[in-house]
Every structure is written in C-alpha cells, then in structure tokens.
C-alpha cells in the first residue's frame, strides 16, 4: 500500500511539473533582479490596465463606425383595438338594407424591415479611418505609460541598491570608529592619550550614526516607492539583487535624435493627434455628399379589403437619396475645428522635435560627465585606501595621532560613498540616454 501511494504521489508530482510554467513569474518574497522587477510592474500596475481598457473602448468605437456598412434589420409588431367602426349603409333595389364596415375591431400586424446603405460616397470610410486613429492613439498611450513605469522602476530599483550599499559602507565606518574609540579610551586610561582624542572620536561616531540614520530613512522611502510600483502591500519585504553596470552609451547625438523622433511614444501620440485631425477634416468634408440607401419591409397585416379578417402578406421596397442642402454651418464649423487641430498638432510636432534634440543632448552630456566622475572616483578610492593603509601603519608606530587616523578613515569611507554615487549616476545617465532615444526600459 505504501509503495502504491508513493508511486501515485510521484506521478502526480511529475504531472504538476510538466504542466507548470517553465519560467514562472517571480514571487514578491524572492530576490528580484531588475528585469524581473520591470516585468512585474508592467504586468500588475493598474494604470496599464486602464490604458488597455482605453484600447478596448477605441476598438469598440471602430466597430460602431463600421455599422452603417452592414444591413440594418428591425422587426415590428402591433395590435389595435377599435370600438368605433365607421360603416356605409346602403340597400340594393328590392333587397334588405345592408352596411359596409371600413375597419375591424381587433387588428394585428407583424413586419420586418431591412435597410442597406448603398453608398455615401466615402463618408463612412472617413469615419472608420477616424476611429482607427483613436485606436493608434490609445496604443501609443499604453506604450508611453509602459515606458514611464519601466524607467520609474529602474530608478527606484537602483535607488534601493545605492542606499543599501551606502548603509553597508556606513556600517564599516561605524565599526572602525567604534574600534578607534575603544583604543582612544584605553590609551586615555593609560595616560598615553588626551581627553580630546576620545571626544573627537565620539563626535565623529555620532555624526556617522546620524548619517546612517538618514540613509536608513531614505532607504525606507525608496523601498516604499518600489513596493508601490510592484503592487505589494505596505510593509512587505522587498529583496533585490543587482549591481551597478556603468556601461557607456554607444549612440551618438545624431543617431539618438533620429531614434527619438521615430520611437518616442510622446512623439507618436502627437503625430496621432495630427492624423486624427486630418481624418476629422476628411469626415467633415464628406458630410456634404449624398447618401443612397435601399429599404424593404415585408410582413402580414389584416383589416384590408375585401377580406378584412384575413392576414395578408405584403412587401414594400424602395430606394432613397438624401442630399444635405443646409446644415446651419455645422459642417463648416467642424471643418474649421479640424483645421485648427491640424495646425495645433503640427506646432506640437515642431516643438517636441526640438525638445527631443535637447533631451538627447542633455542626456549624452550627463552621461559623459558621469563617466568622467566615475573615473575620478575610482582613482580617489584607490588613493584613499592607500592613504588609510599608510595611516594605520604610522599610527601603530606612534608617528601620527588618533585624530589623523580618523581623518584617513573618514576620507576612505567618503571616497567609497562618492564611488557608489558615481556608479549610480552613471547607470541612470545611461538609462536617460536610452529613454531620450525612445528605447523601451531594459536592465
């Protein structure tokens, strides 16, 4: 029995493994890489669901605009009770008086009407094209929201990494200061150091503890921002895995500007607005064109001579033409509004073209400066570490004071923090170049 149960459990486990997703989405409790964090945000954030709903609504409006191309079918039915029945009385020569009724008391009818647009000379086509530009605008709005959220996630993610590493550096500084304080207190007790050395170390330790407290508070806020992007409940632990990879942007100015003009979601939306205004103008122009349609109605009815109580089938068919002659300048107003929309969109295109050029140029300038600062920071860290090693040796030999050793310790930790900040700035500057060039968010 035991072996049978074990076999069944093994088969069940195998079936679950086969059906499981080969690459399951990371859970909030497991450490997240930057790529996983971006994927989670883009899969869960409510504004993206709202943007998708806007796309669905735009597609529904396109479906509505196509309705006039299809037959319009309606069914009618009715019942009429008439207590007043007009009649004509007469008598034949030599015969009894008689009467002729013009209606019946209970009347029933049922019919089906089919209406088909034959042509409106492109008016419906223009309305469909206008509705489709609404779909494009909604899709570009979704893409813009995805870009914005992706880059917000990148900034929040690297902010958490920066602050956690900064706190680690602060912890090292506090351990060094605590050791220096214990040495100073021991030397003071032995009479080989002054009270000034002890107080100086204590002041530095207190200042370092305050800086760590500020860093912890900043980290808590940054984790809250990342938690909100990920859609996690308040207080949920956020574990991230990542390092700064200060890759130098490979795009030159002209290439980055060209990419931005083509791929920036904001530019796409502005061009969509221009296209929508042009389609609106076309639709307004075609409202002056005639409409040709056919209609047919078939059904059964009673109350008709000569056998008024018999249901009789009938068919009525015809073709109609509608020509707008005067619309109270409504169409003229629509045309003027559409032309104004075209001019406004064209002005925004010119403005944003200049804005993209400035964005790319500023991002590349910041990236170049960040790379230079990173090189200086790397050199500074190497020099500070070498100076600290020499200071420790000299302090052990009694050549320098505790105060001078603390200066070397502080300079080394400050250099490490400067290097961390430079790496953070370098990564964000590289991401800023990608964003200015219209690239999708990526690690």
Strands 72-81 and 87-91: unpaired
| Domain spans, the chain | 31-79+107-436
* CA-derived radius of gyration, the chain: 40
Q: How confident is the model at residue 88, as a pLDDT?
A: 64
- Among candidate residues 137, 370, 341, 147, the one with its CA nearest the CA of residue 260: 147
Residues in the chain: 443
Collect the ranges in the chain with pLDDT lower than 70. 1-29, 85-92, 94-95, 97-103, 246-249, 303-309
CB 284 within 8 A of CB 335: yes
Cα–Cα distance, 178 to 186 (Å, whole number): 12
pLDDT at 305: 61
Share of the chain above pLDDT 90, in %: 58
Render 348-408 in DSSP notation, one character per residue: HHHHHHHHHHHHHHHHHHHHHHHHHHHHHHHHHHHHHHHHHHHHHHHHHTTSS-HHHHHHH
| The predicted structure's pLDDT at residue 235 | 87
DSSP code, position 193: S
Q: What pLDDT, on the 0 to 100 scale, is given for residue 336?
A: 94
Pick among 1.20.1600.10, 1.25.50.10, 3.30.70.100, 3.40.50.300: CATH of 31-79+107-436? 1.20.1600.10
Note the pLDDT of residue 95. Answer: 67
Classified as helix, coil or strand, 293 is strand
Quick one: pLDDT at residue 23?
44
pLDDT, residue 303, reads 67
Q: Distance (Å, rounded) from C-alpha 117 to C-alpha 132?
A: 21
Task: Please report the pLDDT score of residue 181 as a whole number.
Answer: 85
């Amino acid at each position: 029995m035991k072996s049978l149960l074990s076999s069944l459990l093994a088969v069940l486990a195998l079936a679950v493994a086969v059906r499981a997703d080969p690459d399951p989405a990371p859970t909030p409790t497991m450490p997240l890489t930057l790529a996983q964090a971006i994927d989670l945000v883009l899969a869960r954030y409510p504004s993206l669901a709202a943007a998708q709903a806007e796309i669905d609504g735009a597609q529904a409006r396109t479906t509505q605009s196509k309705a006039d191309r299809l037959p319009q079918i309606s069914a009618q039915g009715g019942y009429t009770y008439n207590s007043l029945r007009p009649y004509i009385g007469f008598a034949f020569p030599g015969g009894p008086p008689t009467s002729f009724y013009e209606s019946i008391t209970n009347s029933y009818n049922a019919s089906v009407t089919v209406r088909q647009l034959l042509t409106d000379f492109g008016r419906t086509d223009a309305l469909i094209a206008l509705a489709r530009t609404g779909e494009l605008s909604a899709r570009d709005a979704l893409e813009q929201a995805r870009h914005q959220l992706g880059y917000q996630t990148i900034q929040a993610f690297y902010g958490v990494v920066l602050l956690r590493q900064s706190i680690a550096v602060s912890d090292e500084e506090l351990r060094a200061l605590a050791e220096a304080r214990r040495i100073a207190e021991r030397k003071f007790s032995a009479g080989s150091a002054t009270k000034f050395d002890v107080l100086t170390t204590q002041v530095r330790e207190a200042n370092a503890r305050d800086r760590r407290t500020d860093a912890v508070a900043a980290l808590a806020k940054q984790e809250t921002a990342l938690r909100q992007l990920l859609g996690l409940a308040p207080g949920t632990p956020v574990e991230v895995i990542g390092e700064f990879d200060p890759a130098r942007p490979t795009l030159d100015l002209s290439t980055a500007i060209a990419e931005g003009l083509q791929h920036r979601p904001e530019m796409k939306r502005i061009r969509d607005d221009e296209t929508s205004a042009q389609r609106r103008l076309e639709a307004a122009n075609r409202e002056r064109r005639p409409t040709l349609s056919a209609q047919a109605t078939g059904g059964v009815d009673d109350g008709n001579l000569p056998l008024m109580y018999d249901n009789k089938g009938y068919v009525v068919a015809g073709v109609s033409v509608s020509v707008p002659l005067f619309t109270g300048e409504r169409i003229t107003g629509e045309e003027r509004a559409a032309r104004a929309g075209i001019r406004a969109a064209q002005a925004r295109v010119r403005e944003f073209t200049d804005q993209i050029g400035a964005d790319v140029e500023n991002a590349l300038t910041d990236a170049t400066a960040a790379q230079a600062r990173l090189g200086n920071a790397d050199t500074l860290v190497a020099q500070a570490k070498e100076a600290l090693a020499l200071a420790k040796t000299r302090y052990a030999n009694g050549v320098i004071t505790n105060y001078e050793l603390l200066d070397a310790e502080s300079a080394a930790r400050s250099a490490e923090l400067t290097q961390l900040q430079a790496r953070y700035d370098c990564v964000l500057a590289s991401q800023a170049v990608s964003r200015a060039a219209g690239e999708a968010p990526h690690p």
